[in-house]
Chain A
Amino acid sequence: MTSPAREYTSVVRVSGPLMVVSGVGDAAYGEVVEVRLPDGEKRLGQVLESRTDIAVIQVFGGTQDLDTDITSVRFTGEPLRMVVSPEILGRIFDGSAAPADGGGAVIPGKIVDISGSPINPTARAFPEDCIETGISAIDGMNTLVRGQKLPIFSGAGLPHSRLAAQIARQARVLRDQEEFAIVFGAMGITNEEARFFLNEFEETGALEHAVVFINRADDPAIERIITPRLALTAAEYLAFDLGMHVLVILQDITAYCEALREVSAARDEVPARRGYPGYMYTDLASVFERAGRIHGRKGSITQLPIISMPDDDITHPVPDLTGYITEGQIVLSRDLHRKGVYPPIDVLPSLSRLMSGGIGEGKTREDHGGVSDQLYAAYAKGRRLESLVTVIGEEGLSEADRRTLAFTARFEKEFIGQGVGGGRTVDETLDAAWDLLRLFPGEELNRISPALIEKYLRREAP
């Protein structure tokens, strides 16, 4: 993009989040524009389509109060960029990177394009350092590793914010004391949720190594398209330039996708499912794939996006496409929440694809994989039996089945429902698992090798 800045007042159409300017001729695709309203207010926009006669522009601050007479548009000749420097740590910005904490502008260290560039797949280092979150359902059965993108699939009214904040507070890497940072990107969250996170960060002292970008529910919706990119640009700088281990929390991806849909609908594009654009998979990938590690660089980016599933429907396009891109998912369950279980993680549909590389001897503990598989097998069987019992009652069950039911109840109450207090270490999580597995005779534990059963099942027998 080499063209110098040009200014036009030829706005010919304003519709929804879009604006059409005529007679531009050389607007570059993706170029940033500065829109000056009749009252002097300035807003940012970006070229979505460029033709020899017109340019279609999405206006991030919304199109309210634009006119087709006085409104002027300055084409900057630049892509969307932001300023990064070590000073961004501890700062709070709005959804388009303007300071929102009363502080001044960031003193430039480096100016970077917020869309980023794809990491060359051959440069990626495979993630394999286990992050201990202190939460048994995650550490024991869906282990998070450094450089992973692991979303939380939630629903309205479920405690996803509390869980995300708890993970941010407790997360540590085993046997490691390295510099870490938190980047929080909020899209369309309520004032209350925003305050919850800010309080949490302030109280725990996390704010000084956090960068916060907040687009609130009442901020312009189209701005949400850039907020996660700002957050990830900051994260990439901290991770790959400064060598920090960065945990990125993005909430709420569903609000982000709704902004995409709004722009797509305004352009009369052919929709895919439920009105969402056909390129949503590609677009989400351009956000989620900005996680990982790189050979020869010290830092890493771990993403913890939060997705609220409309009507708790995991097949809704947003969680569905997300699940195909991310490396697993943590699914919260309304049933468990109603039962008073915290954290209400339903482990059956939850998954960490990178778990096997981060656990086992030398990393966590030799019995980790087997224990996790065994818990899964037993709990899945228990849940099947529970639905059976509602029909035929417990009398019809064999003794082995009754053992499984007893296990299932205790598993939900004790292992998953560890409460809001502090976390468990990975060792404590695995020991808690063995306490439950002792309900079974050793030969029924067919997912664990006999040697490990010998070693752990009899250890500190009750």
Chain B
Amino acid sequence: MTGRIIRITGPVVEADGMRGALMYELVHAGTDALIGEIIGLAEDVATIQVYEDTTGIAPGEPVERTGAPLSVELGPGLLGMVYDGIQRPLEVIRNEMGDFIIRGATLPALDRRRTYAFTPVAEAGGKAVPGTVIGTVAEGRFVHRILVPHGTEGVFASVAGAGEYTVMDQIAAVLSAGGSEVPVTMLRRWPVRVGRPFAEKLRPKDPLITGQRIIDSFFPIVKGGTAAVPGPFGAGKTVVQHQLAKWSDADIIVYVGCGERGNELADVLRQFPALSDPRSGTPLMDRTVLIGNTSNMPVAAREASVYTGITIAEYYRDMGYDVALMADSTSRWAEAMREISGRLEEMPGEHGYPAYLASRLAGFYERAGKVRVLGPSGSEGSVSVIGAVSPPGGDFSEPVTQNTLRVVRVFWALDADLAHARHFPSINWLTSYSLYPDDVQGWWNAHGGEEWSAMRGAMMAILQKEGELEEIVHLVGPDVLPEDDKLALHVAGIIRESFLIQSAFDPVDTFCPPEKQYHMMRLITDYARYGKEAVEGGRSVAEIASLPVAARLARLGSMENEAFTEYFEETEREMAAAFGKGAGGRT
């Protein structure tokens, strides 16, 4: 099972004597046993992408096959960890090897010595099929269900009693129909490039609530949905991704920092342990798995990082959890593919990207979804995927953006002009879209109110109107517009300034609960309606704009969530009075 290196060029190495090796098999290359993966075979020559710096490797050095594909370790202890692109534990590496990453580290992803309190659920003699719950351990506040692994079927020959076990200890044995007894531990391995199986895909219907107004109220994503966030540099992709990782109401977050900045990861590591989840009150880090393969870490491991991330996400999905995965940035992943493809001297497609770019992107996003999991529990879990895209020069016509848009159902287009004016999140309300509003309407009716859909439509219509009017204003100035158009511009300004702008750095405004979003929408749509009636009744827009209630609307976002109801009612009353409506308006 040993080959010999015959060529080295950057992260790509060729070896001969490899006949019988498998595509995507994991190998150890060179005398330093660097981890690599076979990405091409020709006769007895294998082409290998190496996940570490290849400096110093020379022809003639050995290549050892492992017989297994690139896999991740799955089991209790994943939450709160920080891994590189091929699931090496970065904090452990730092403790053992120092502040700089030295190559050749081979440390297990899951701690072999740590014990977990196991509580059995299955009993000896019971039926065991893939997905059957053997028992549970507590992983922080989560119930970590230990399931019968795929490919194992029969009856339980034994199930361990309650007690402390490591991930390597046997916790059950399954007697297969063929009569062999298969020992089961809590540790699983799964090849990253293969999606984990499930019983069936379901139609998602619950929104993934993110606490970001323009997302939840205008361009919602569902639990099990897919979204892309493209934008030029400086438009705030990373802040959007961080906000979603912090505040979205998924159970588990997998955050993949793919070819991005080291300081961004440091920022997450600084904030997440200190911030608490608004729903459970526990530190955000306790529900998060971080995959960090920064831009200066080996490029092949960057290519693998998104697969490592999504496999971990699927593992928690299979326990019945709602998982959200953020990949920042999928363009760096695509570029890693391009770099490797270039070294292989493959015929390039558009912009030098390999011809299989579209199918790889589609294959990745297709691993998202809401599913019924395998096994008798019949429980449901979901993986939502939100990918950042970094188009060169901010040009959305480039291949990564275009191929991503073909497969995702939500598009949050970040806009450089908005970012320059410090309008954040800089999601452009005219070009962005979501295909889920109809799916989540039922949820909003139950949790906000019946008018969600109508108010959303009304607000978007006003913004649309503003977009059309802007061209005219540019030609002839705002003065000549009729009063109702002036009102549209005025209300659009209020929607932008008081609803769409949301400060990620304001301690209150950073997370806006759905009920508050709903009430804000009501105030603004009421204001628009009253304003329209007033204009029809002969009042001028200048007069309406000078009412003090307009200034009150501007401060809705930063109003403490607890005090909001009172402020909301007061504003409603004041507005009704200013427009000469009956006391209280509506309640």
* Residues of A bordering B, CB below 8 Å: 1, 3, 25-31, 48-52, 79, 115-127, 147-148, 240, 269-273, 277-279, 281-282, 285-286, 289-290, 292, 294-295, 297, 314-317, 320-321, 323-325, 327-329, 348-349, 351, 353-354, 356-357, 369, 372-373, 376-377, 380-381, 387-388, 391-392, 396-398, 443, 446-447, 449-450
What's the minimum C-beta distance from A69 to chain B, rounded to whole angstroms?
25
Most chain B beta-carbon neighbours within 10 Å: one of A270, A271, A294, A373? A270
> Are A269 and B342 in contact, with the CB atoms below 8 A?
yes
A29/B352 contact (C-beta < 8 A), A49-B9, A269-B342 known: no
> Are A271 and B299 in contact, with the CB atoms below 8 A?
no
> Are A297 and B99 in contact, with the CB atoms below 8 A?
yes
Q: With a CB–CB cut-off of 8 A, which chain B residues contact A369?
A: 505
> Are B261 and A289 in contact, with the CB atoms below 8 A?
yes
> Are A315 and B234 in contact, with the CB atoms below 8 A?
no
Q: With a CB–CB cut-off of 8 A, which chain A residues contact B480?
A: 396
> Are B55 and A115 in contact, with the CB atoms below 8 A?
yes
> Are A31 and B56 in contact, with the CB atoms below 8 A?
yes
What's the minimum C-beta distance from B456 to chain A, rounded to whole angstroms?
24
Q: With a CB–CB cut-off of 8 A, which chain B residues contact A356?
A: 505
Contact partner, B422, options A272, A324, A377, A387, Cβ 8 Å: A377
> Are A3 and B58 in contact, with the CB atoms below 8 A?
yes
Q: With a CB–CB cut-off of 8 A, which chain A residues contact B263?
A: 124, 126-127, 147-148, 292, 327, 354
Q: With a CB–CB cut-off of 8 A, which chain A residues contact B586?
A: none
28 sample A-B contacts, Cβ–Cβ < 8 Å, listed by A number? A28-B56, A30-B55, A51-B59, A115-B55, A118-B101, A118-B297, A120-B90, A126-B266, A240-B99, A270-B341, A270-B342, A270-B345, A273-B352, A278-B342, A281-B295, A282-B259, A289-B261, A315-B392, A327-B263, A354-B263, A357-B267, A372-B422, A373-B422, A376-B422, A380-B422, A381-B421, A396-B478, A397-B477
Interface string of B539-573 (1 = CB under 8 A from A): 00000000000010011001000000000000000
> Are A29 and B56 in contact, with the CB atoms below 8 A?
yes
Q: With a CB–CB cut-off of 8 A, which chain B residues contact A281?
A: 259, 295, 332, 335
Q: With a CB–CB cut-off of 8 A, which chain B residues contact A269?
A: 342
> Are A388 and B296 in contact, with the CB atoms below 8 A?
no
Q: With a CB–CB cut-off of 8 A, which chain A residues contact B514?
A: none
Q: With a CB–CB cut-off of 8 A, which chain A residues contact B98?
A: 120
Q: Given A272-B338, A373-B422, 5 more contacts at CB 8 Å?
A: A49-B7, A50-B59, A270-B345, A320-B392, A323-B232
> Are A79 and B56 in contact, with the CB atoms below 8 A?
yes
Q: With a CB–CB cut-off of 8 A, which chain B residues contact A388?
A: 473-474, 477
Alpha-carbon separation in the docked complex, A269 to B341 (Å): 11
A279/B6 contact (C-beta < 8 A), A79-B56, A273-B351, A348-B420 known: no
Q: With a CB–CB cut-off of 8 A, which chain A residues contact B59?
A: 25-27, 50-52
Contact partner, B55, options A79, A297, A398, Cβ 8 Å: A79
What's the minimum C-beta distance from B105 to chain A, rounded to whole angstroms?
10
What's the minimum C-beta distance from A453 to chain B, rounded to whole angstroms?
12
Q: With a CB–CB cut-off of 8 A, which chain A residues contact B91?
A: 122
Closest to B558 in A: A449
> Are B475 and A120 in contact, with the CB atoms below 8 A?
no
Instruction: Give the residues from 485 to 504 in chain B that come closer than 8 angstroms, CB to CB, to chain A.
Output: 497
The answer to whether B233 has its CB under 8 Å from any CB of chain A is yes
Q: With a CB–CB cut-off of 8 A, which chain A residues contact B292?
A: 121-122
Alpha-carbon separation in the docked complex, A224 to B297 (Å): 22
Q: With a CB–CB cut-off of 8 A, which chain B residues contact A30?
A: 54-56
> Are B265 and A124 in contact, with the CB atoms below 8 A?
yes
Q: With a CB–CB cut-off of 8 A, which chain B residues contact A240?
A: 99
> Are B497 and A272 in contact, with the CB atoms below 8 A?
no
> Are B261 and A325 in contact, with the CB atoms below 8 A?
yes
> Are B295 and A282 in contact, with the CB atoms below 8 A?
yes
Alpha-carbon separation in the docked complex, A317 to B390 (Å): 13
Closest to A357 in B: B267
Q: With a CB–CB cut-off of 8 A, which chain B residues contact A51?
A: 6-8, 59
Closest to A389 in B: B477
> Are B7 and A52 in contact, with the CB atoms below 8 A?
yes
> Are B234 and A270 in contact, with the CB atoms below 8 A?
no
What's the minimum C-beta distance from A117 to chain B, rounded to whole angstroms?
4
Alpha-carbon separation in the docked complex, A29 to B351 (Å): 28
What's the minimum C-beta distance from A20 to chain B, rounded to whole angstroms?
13
Count, chain B residues at interface, CB 8 A: 78
Q: With a CB–CB cut-off of 8 A, which chain B residues contact A397?
A: 477
Alpha-carbon separation in the docked complex, A462 to B57 (Å): 71
Q: With a CB–CB cut-off of 8 A, which chain A residues contact B267?
A: 126, 357
Alpha-carbon separation in the docked complex, A402 to B335 (Å): 48
Alpha-carbon separation in the docked complex, A381 to B496 (Å): 14
Contact partner, B393, options A25, A48, A123, A320, Cβ 8 Å: A320
> Are A391 and B474 in contact, with the CB atoms below 8 A?
yes
Alpha-carbon separation in the docked complex, A28 to B294 (Å): 26
Instruction: Give the residues from 440 to 454 in chain B that come closer than 8 angstroms, CB to CB, to chain A.
Output: none
Sorted nearest first, the 4 A-B pairs with minimum C-beta distance are A315-B393, A396-B477, A285-B295, A380-B421
Alpha-carbon separation in the docked complex, A3 to B497 (Å): 66
Instruction: Give the residues from 246 to 270 in chain B that come closer than 8 angstroms, CB to CB, to chain A.
Output: 257, 259, 261-263, 265-267, 269-270
Alpha-carbon separation in the docked complex, A27 to B56 (Å): 8
> Are B339 and A279 in contact, with the CB atoms below 8 A?
yes
Alpha-carbon separation in the docked complex, A154 to B261 (Å): 23
Interface string of B209-242 (1 = CB under 8 A from A): 0000000000000000000000011100010000
Contact partner, B234, options A49, A52, A271, A328, Cβ 8 Å: A328
> Are A123 and B554 in contact, with the CB atoms below 8 A?
no
What's the minimum C-beta distance from B55 to chain A, rounded to whole angstroms?
4
> Are A272 and B352 in contact, with the CB atoms below 8 A?
yes
> Are A380 and B420 in contact, with the CB atoms below 8 A?
yes
> Are B352 and A270 in contact, with the CB atoms below 8 A?
yes
Closest to B265 in A: A121
Alpha-carbon separation in the docked complex, A285 to B294 (Å): 9
Contact partner, A392, options B10, B476, B551, Cβ 8 Å: B476
Most chain A beta-carbon neighbours within 10 Å: one of B59, B60, B238? B59
Q: With a CB–CB cut-off of 8 A, which chain A residues contact B393?
A: 314-316, 320
The answer to whether B19 has its CB under 8 Å from any CB of chain A is no
Contact partner, A272, options B351, B475, B554, Cβ 8 Å: B351
Closest to B345 in A: A270
Contact partner, B57, options A29, A125, A272, A324, Cβ 8 Å: A29
What's the minimum C-beta distance from A200 to chain B, rounded to whole angstroms?
29
The answer to whether B405 has its CB under 8 Å from any CB of chain A is no
What's the minimum C-beta distance from A77 to chain B, rounded to whole angstroms?
9
Alpha-carbon separation in the docked complex, A115 to B422 (Å): 38
A52/B60 contact (C-beta < 8 A), A29-B8, A117-B102, A373-B422 known: yes
The answer to whether B67 has its CB under 8 Å from any CB of chain A is no
Q: With a CB–CB cut-off of 8 A, which chain B residues contact A292?
A: 262-263, 266
> Are A391 and B420 in contact, with the CB atoms below 8 A?
no
Q: With a CB–CB cut-off of 8 A, which chain A residues contact B351?
A: 272-273
> Are B60 and A278 in contact, with the CB atoms below 8 A?
no
What's the minimum C-beta distance from A48 to chain B, rounded to whole angstroms?
7
Alpha-carbon separation in the docked complex, A292 to B295 (Å): 14
Closest to A321 in B: B392
Closest to A449 in B: B558
The answer to whether B20 has its CB under 8 Å from any CB of chain A is no
What's the minimum C-beta distance from A145 to chain B, rounded to whole angstroms?
10
Alpha-carbon separation in the docked complex, A391 to B474 (Å): 7
Alpha-carbon separation in the docked complex, A120 to B338 (Å): 25
Alpha-carbon separation in the docked complex, A271 to B339 (Å): 10
The answer to whether B468 has its CB under 8 Å from any CB of chain A is no
Contact partner, A123, options B99, B257, B348, Cβ 8 Å: B99
Alpha-carbon separation in the docked complex, A447 to B422 (Å): 10
Most chain A beta-carbon neighbours within 10 Å: one of B352, B423, B474, B475? B352
Contact partner, B8, options A49, A289, A373, Cβ 8 Å: A49
Alpha-carbon separation in the docked complex, A262 to B100 (Å): 31
Contact partner, A120, options B93, B259, B395, B554, Cβ 8 Å: B93
Alpha-carbon separation in the docked complex, A328 to B22 (Å): 44
> Are A26 and B335 in contact, with the CB atoms below 8 A?
no
The answer to whether B204 has its CB under 8 Å from any CB of chain A is no
Alpha-carbon separation in the docked complex, A289 to B260 (Å): 10
Q: With a CB–CB cut-off of 8 A, which chain B residues contact A392?
A: 475-477
